[in-house]
Amino acid sequence: MKKFIGILTICFLLLLTSCSQNSSTQINSIEIIKDEVLIEELEVLVNDEFTLNTQINDNLKTTLVWESSNPNIILVDNNGNVKVLNKGQAVITVSVKDAPYLNDSVFINASTKVEQIGVGSGLSKDDPIFLGNEGEDEPIEVYFIEMQHIYADSIFIKKGNVEVLIDAGFEYDGNYVNKVLTQYCADDRLDLFMVSHSDGDHVDGIANALSTVDDISLMIDYGGQGTGNVLATRNKYIPKGMIYHSAYDCINHLNGATDVYYLTEDFYFEVLNTGNYITSEKTSASNPHSLAVIFYYKNFSFFTAGDITTATEAQLLKNEDLPEVTLYKASHHGSHGSNSQELLDTLNPKAVAISAARANQYQVAPTGPQEGKTYNLNGASGHPAAAAIERIYKAPNISQNLNVYWNAVNGTMKFTSYGKNDFTFTGSTTMKGYYDLSITGGVAVWNKELQDFENKVTGEENFKLHETKVFQFRNYIQYLPNWAKEEYFPEYNG
């Protein structure tokens, strides 16, 4: 019995000792702090230097040991002084020399500062237009800006600190385009400005759009002598160092131009040979002479060709061995006179973006809702044309994924990719929108309290076209592949 009691006593004493040690560990703790704030993770830039400190129990009077898991990325000395040497990740750990179980660590992610240090020729990936760090971890974002008039175009592309603008809509559209540039161009510089052709719905807004842009690195347009806003843009920015080339010079490698330009090492574009670009003695370029290009970012690709016509598309197919693309801008706002089946089948896009707002009347300036102003409230007429929609849904990839999007329901549309042959889509609330007149027997009902018509369709910002009400208003169901009719519209009898 005495032996048993003795064993119990020893176990009790050991338990007390263990509890005492655990209590000591909890009391005598250590935490890493920076600028008097406890930290567990830290985002830093290459070449940063700073000091980490510790928050430690006053009873601990001992030496601290600082270590970095990757000294080639993050270097730390015995006083907690840190130097960021290279891009990457590392863990810094601090411990008490005589009690190494007392320790703390912080995860550090080091990136290169987004910064432009110059403008290159763009002729090779080793000398791109953007010199410096554009933010190589950032995705490419393609914005189809919602326009206000009957039809207009403006496309904005952003890859980190690299920004591209293609066209600028009508004059009043240019003001909204400028808001987009002001929001996203922190350095007030466009790395590339393109003008597809000389029609007013593409060029009249240029002056307003560029009103706060200090510099343009590269401009490529439809060519010729130029007039109005296009000529004014050349004259304003070329003396400031802007590189300028016409589409004709690009495909013929004239006057120092080429058909492929690198914006960064892995973000570039190709000017395509339509066989229809205007020469230097001409002044304007209508739809058939539109600039056609493909943008590439790693495995992501985007085809856009202004208001190119089916006749010019046929020439393009003869002149170029076109690849399949991720994203396709429906030419001429989804017109029946563009978007040939052969071109759609060849490019076989994974998504189609239709740049056309709900149509209002020609020669009528855009306004907010007004009583009595009922033209096309339900969006049942105008672009995109039924013939183009039919061809779009026959394209192999589209016939399977139904990835068709339209400004009239999706507002300003954004397609995002991290360089894969895929995308994510985000729409916005439309500035114009459309109304479900079927609820009121086809009659527009003005609500004085709302100062708007009743039954405005909302909540379709991120819908595919076939998921929207206007798709049915226009009887586009007939153009869906049979499997989609059965799945989404089983009641449809054609």
> Which segments of 196-240 are extended strands (E)?
215-216, 218-221
The rounded distance, in Å, linking the Cα atoms of 219 and 38 is 49
In CATH terms, are 28-111 and 116-488 the same topology?
A: no
Span 405-447, pLDDT tens digits? 999 999 999 999 999 999 999 999 998 899 999 999 999 999 9
Instruction: From first to last of the 494 residues of the chain, give the pLDDT tens digit.
Output: 444 444 444 343 444 444 444 433 344 688 999 988 888 999 898 999 999 999 887 555 578 999 999 999 999 999 999 999 998 999 999 998 888 888 999 999 998 888 999 999 999 999 999 999 999 889 999 999 999 878 899 999 999 999 999 999 999 999 999 999 999 998 999 999 999 999 999 999 999 999 999 999 999 999 999 999 999 999 999 999 999 999 999 999 999 999 999 999 999 999 999 999 999 999 999 999 999 999 999 999 999 999 999 999 999 999 999 999 999 999 999 999 999 999 999 999 999 999 999 988 888 888 889 998 999 999 999 999 999 999 999 999 999 999 999 999 999 999 999 999 999 999 999 988 999 999 999 999 999 999 999 999 999 999 999 999 999 999 999 999 999 999 999 998 87
Rounded alpha-carbon distances, angstroms, from residue 290 to 213, 307, 350, 376: 24, 6, 23, 29
Torsion of CA 356, 357, 358, 361, to 10 degrees: -80
CA gyration radius for the chain? 31
Provide the token pair at 482: 């049979």
Provide the token pair at 432: 């114009």
Spatial contact of 166 and 196, defined as CB atoms under 8 Å apart? yes
Residues with Cβ within 8 Å of 434's Cβ and at least 6 positions away in sequence, in order, are 358, 377, 378, 379, 408, 409, 456, 457, 470
Q: Which of 277, 278, 195, 182 is nearest to 232 (CA)?
A: 195
Domain boundaries, the chain: 28-111, 116-488
Provide the token pair at 390: 């039919």
Domain spanning 116-488, CATH architecture: 4-Layer Sandwich (3.60)
In words, the CATH class of domain 28-111 is mainly beta
Provide the token pair at 96: 């008490």
Spatial contact of 304 and 197, defined as CB atoms under 8 Å apart? no
Spatial contact of 170 and 256, defined as CB atoms under 8 Å apart? no
Q: Which of 434, 435, 417 is nearest to 426 (CA)?
A: 417
Q: Tokens 């189609």 — which residue?
A: 352
Q: To which H or E segment does residue 355 belong? A: none
What DSSP designation does 417 have?
E
Q: What is the pTM of this model?
A: 0.87
Nearest 5 degrees, angle CA 170-CA 174-CA 178? Answer: 165
Spatial contact of 177 and 157, defined as CB atoms under 8 Å apart? no
